[in-house]
Structure 1
């Protein structure tokens, strides 16, 4: 099977080693380097309907790259669009992951990215994919990226986590989540005022059993410098 390795401490690469006949798929434009035995092509994974839904509802591309070791064994280097760390997750039939917008980098072909309906709160507030979000199911390695550093948090019964909406990268699909405003001890208007004055914005409350991958930077605040 393909071997996924994160290499480099600052803005790392995803290094993938493939044996002849093996394939992976990745986000469009993720390929930085590949050895001569490898071949890259655009693929509309999941058919026209799924690809169109994925493109219209999230930041993911209509076409994704498929890299295959055609002429023999070979290595490739992949890189996410925004500067930041990469986290490797193991997707199994009993362990699926839900991805926030733009976090997908690459996966083994045994992993399927399927669009599913989000909760009403998630659809209205956005940041986690709008009304339709991506879910990674199947079997294989999944690479996700976050803006800045990433850290994986464990959620267990009785130990709920409240995380800023813009810092969530991915989470175990079995977790229950609610999107709202930070609690301030008062009513709705008190919470609204607290959200405005604290600058915290919307948060996601996770409960149950699973994992949440978070990143240190808020990409919605990232504005490239333009020349005057």
Structure 2
């Protein structure tokens, strides 16, 4: 099985070691370096229908990279499009993950990234993928990236977690999630006014049992410093 290792603290690389005939897939353009025994090619992974849905309902690419060790063992380095941390997650038949737009980096060949329907609130207002969101299922390692630093929260029954929707990277598919406004008191109108004036916008409320990966920066409002 390919070995995934995060290398570096600031804007890290994803280092993957492959044995002969092993392969991984990654977001288009993620490969930075690979050794000579490896081969990279573009694939319409999951079939034409899934590829079209992935492209037109999220920030993911129509084509994905497949990296395979065809000539022997070899290593490669991958990098996400936005600067930030990389988190490694274990996908199993009993532990799948839902992904926010643009957060997928790479995975074992035993993992599939499938489209599934979002909640009505998430589809209309969520910022996490519209009416169709991506879910990682199967068996193997999954690498996701967040804009800025990342942190993993454990959600337990009776202790709901509220997260700004633009800071969610990935979460256990077993979790129940609802899109809404932060609780500020004063009823619906008061919550709406406070949501606008505080700049917090919409939130996702997670409940149940599972994990949530969050990132420190919001790419929707981030403005890089002007060149001098």
Q: State the TM-score bracket (shorter-chain normalisation).
A: over 0.9
Gaps of 5+ in 1: none
CA separation in 1, counterparts of 2:219 and 2:11? 15
- Give 3-state SS (helix, strand or coil) of 2:148's partner: coil
1:225 deviation in Å?
5.8
- Give 3-state SS (helix, strand or coil) of 2:220's partner: helix
2:32/2:77 contact within 8 Å kept: yes
CA separation in 2, counterparts of 1:45 and 1:181? 36
Deviations 1:55-99 (A, max 9, x none): 000000000000000000000000000000000000000000000
CA separation in 2, counterparts of 1:180 and 1:126? 9
Q: Give the TM-score normalised by structure 1.
A: 0.98
Alignment-derived partner of residue 171 in structure 1: 171
Alignment-derived partner of residue 194 in structure 1: 194
User: Which segment drifts farther, 218-227 or 111-120?
Assistant: 218-227
Deviations 1:105-163 (A, max 9, x none): 00000001000000000000131110000000000000000000000000000100000
- Give 3-state SS (helix, strand or coil) of 1:53's partner: helix
2:126/2:179 contact within 8 Å kept: no
1:185 deviation in Å?
1.7
2:82/2:147 contact within 8 Å kept: yes
- Give 3-state SS (helix, strand or coil) of 1:219's partner: coil
The within-5 A match list for 1:1-228 is 1-224=1-224
- Give 3-state SS (helix, strand or coil) of 2:41's partner: strand
CA separation in 2, counterparts of 1:91 and 1:213? 14
Q: How many residues align?
A: 228
CA separation in 2, counterparts of 1:227 and 1:80? 23
Cα RMSD for the two superposed structures? 1.1
1:222 deviation in Å?
2.5
Q: Give the TM-score normalised by structure 2.
A: 0.98
Gaps of 5+ in 2: none
- Give 3-state SS (helix, strand or coil) of 1:59's partner: coil
